[in-house]
Amino acid sequence: MGCSMYRGRRLTICVSVIAFIVNAVSAYLTQYLPNEWRTGYSFRLYSGFACGACILGLWGALKASSTPTTIFANHLLLDSLLSTLPRLALLLLTLSLPSSLCVSAPSSPSSAQLPLSPKIARHQAHSIDLSTPSADEDALIDAWLADHWTPQTCSLILWTLYAFFGMVVIGVTGAQWWAALRVREFAGVLGRRERRENMREGGAEEEMVGMREREREGGKRDWLGRGLLD
């Protein structure tokens, strides 16, 4: 129990600090969003609310109080739900992006499309005036891209990047849900402990009241006994 309490408290402190930093940075960066998006104020408002919830979680973990920790845990669960759906939608929307980008891959900053034939690329490269260094570099780049950069290579690289991006998104989402559930569990442990303490305090008070009543009744009987004897 003590070890579980320690781990839950440490995890809640770490999660609250990390979430506070992330939301504070997000609130700062929203001022650079384009004005036509008209979402900067909403993002700042939500980030401010999230920072407040993180402060409550940190204070609840340090003071071992269930109420602020529960508020923070509920915020984490809600934030996990709200962020999971857009992330999955982003992965689905970008699923066809590698294939569409590699239909005509760019060869260099000086050309708009990659020639699929190496002979055409070499002819264009040699037709450039090689008297200047920039023309020489562009010709070498065009020749190298014509030999190595193909639509198949483009697809392989972009699909690798997409797979890495997908694993990062899924890993971050899973870690967020795991942390939210663990903080919620820690808040439940704190709540049960407070209820047990309240029950013990209530039982002790009832016992003290009963002892006082028994003492008063015993005093009354002693007084009546002495009166009868007199």
pLDDT tens by residue, 164-190: 988 998 999 999 999 999 999 999 889
pLDDT over threshold 80, residue 73? yes
Name the residue with higher pLDDT: 24 or 120: 24
Per-residue confidence (pLDDT) for residue 214, from 0 to 100:
63
Which residues contact residue 193 at a Cβ distance below 8 angstroms, ignoring those fewer than 6 apart? Answer: 64, 66
Joined together, the tokens standing for residue 103 give: 């239909």
Alpha-carbon gap, residue 67 to 65, rounded angstroms: 6
Alpha-carbon gap, residue 81 to 20, rounded angstroms: 18
pLDDT over threshold 90, residue 153? no
Per-residue confidence (pLDDT) for residue 145, from 0 to 100:
62
- H runs (alpha helix) in 30-113: 40-63, 66-93, 97-101
Name the residue with higher pLDDT: 69 or 4: 69
Q: What are phi and psi of 107, to 5 degrees?
A: -95, -40
User: Among 9-23, 52-66, 194-208, where is mean pLDDT lowest?
Assistant: 194-208
- Confidence label for 197 from pLDDT (cuts 50, 70 and 90): confident
Per-residue confidence (pLDDT) for residue 4, from 0 to 100:
72
Alpha-carbon gap, residue 49 to 41, rounded angstroms: 12
